[in-house]
């Protein structure tokens, strides 16, 4: 890996991203899963999503857990800077200096990209959709936005990015310890998906918003891995 770009790795990731994008596009265009999976969390009598105001979802997860993840990202930047500024770092920090910077940049770039896409999106949050007491009709990524309806700016799921940048850790040990990286990546994926599911319970996002946010996050991670030329770092066996 150190002698040249890992072309097989990148080719595999591009193929997987393309296939998963096709599946997501077709599934959520031909089904009503978004609406069906959001319905159990909606109280039609009171016309609200009860989990929207619950302490555990609104404050513990949406606020305090988010702050913890932000603090984790700042810590990664401190570690990356320490590996560069310390005259002679040793061990893991010496052999993974470039990789720590790669993860640090994931913390910044992943939320920025998702934030930009969200700002450009016309799609609405569940609590804005007419099926759940809102003002806008539901439409998916490949449907035309209804005329005369203001843009919802609710796609992809921004809150997921609070944790999905952690997917960068999946490549911190790559390729010397692929199994370790895969386990860490799956844990980061599970955490990020859980964040999205809580937002779905609150009526803040549909399932497709979460899955596309995870897709974008991994695509950005792979691009950053290539752009920062992390593959040139020898690492440690």
pLDDT in tens, the chain (237 residues): 444 568 899 999 999 999 999 999 999 999 999 999 999 999 999 999 999 999 999 999 999 999 999 999 999 999 999 888 876 656 777 778 899 999 999 999 999 999 999 999 999 999 999 999 999 999 999 988 888 899 999 999 999 999 999 999 999 998 888 999 999 999 999 999 999 999 999 999 999 999 999 999 999 999 999 999 887 777 644
Q: Is residue 1 part of a domain?
A: no
To 10 degrees, what angle do helices 97-120 and 66-85 make? 140
Residue in 120, 158, 152, 156 with CA at minimum distance from that of residue 136: 152
Nearest to 215 by CA among 182, 167, 144, 174: 167
Please give the pLDDT value at position 93. 75
What is the pLDDT, as a whole number, of residue 4? 53
- Structural domain includes residue 2: no
The residue range of the domain holding 215 is 7-42+51-140+150-232
Contact 42, 49 (CB under 8 A): yes
- State how many domains the chain has: 1
Question: Which pLDDT does position 46 carry in this prediction?
Answer: 94
Residue 145 belongs to some domain of the structure: no
* Residue 237 covered by a domain: no
Looking at residue 235, what is its pLDDT?
A: 64
Give alpha helix (H) positions in 121-177. 161-164
The predicted pLDDT at position 55 comes to: 96
How many residues does the structure list for the chain? 237
Question: Is 169 part of any domain?
Answer: yes
pLDDT at 187: 98
Give the Å distances, CA to CA, from 46 to 39, 42, 124, 203.
13, 9, 21, 14
Which pLDDT score, from 0 to 100, does residue 90 have? 64
- Amino acid 2: pLDDT: 46
- CA separation for the pair 175, 236 (Å, rounded): 10
Can you give the pLDDT at residue 92? Answer: 75
Residues 173/178/182/183 CA torsion (nearest 10 deg): -80
Q: Does residue 27 sit in helix, strand or coil? A: helix
- The confidence score (pLDDT) of residue 124 equals 97
Nearest to 164 by CA among 116, 223, 103: 103
Give the N- to C-terminal CA distance of the chain in Å, as an integer: 12
> What's residue 200's pLDDT?
97
């Amino acid at each position: 890996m150190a002698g040249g770009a890992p072309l097989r790795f990148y080719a595999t990731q591009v193929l997987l991203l393309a296939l998963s994008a096709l599946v997501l596009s077709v599934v959520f265009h031909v089904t009503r899963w978004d609406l069906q999976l959001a319905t159990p969390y909606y109280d039609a009598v009171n016309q609200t999503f009860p989990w929207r105001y619950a302490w555990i979802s609104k404050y513990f997860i949406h606020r305090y857990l988010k702050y913890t993840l932000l603090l984790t990202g700042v810590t990664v930047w401190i570690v990356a800077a320490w590996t560069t500024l310390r005259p002679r770092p040793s061990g893991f920090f010496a052999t993974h200096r470039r990789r720590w910077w790669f993860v640090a940049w994931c913390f910044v770039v992943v939320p920025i990209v998702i934030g930009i896409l969200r700002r450009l999106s016309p799609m609405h949050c569940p609590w804005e959709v007419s099926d759940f007491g809102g003002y806008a009709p539901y439409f998916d990524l490949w449907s035309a936005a209804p005329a005369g309806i203001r843009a919802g700016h609710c796609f992809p799921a921004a809150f997921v990015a609070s944790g999905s940048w952690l997917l960068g850790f999946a490549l911190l040990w790559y390729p010397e310890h692929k199994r370790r990286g895969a386990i860490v990546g799956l844990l980061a994926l599970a955490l990020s998906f859980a964040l999205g599911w809580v937002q779905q319970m609150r009526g803040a996002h549909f399932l497709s918003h979460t899955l596309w946010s995870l897709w974008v996050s991994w695509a950005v991670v792979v691009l950053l891995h290539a752009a920062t030329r992390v593959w040139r770092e020898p690492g440690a066996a």
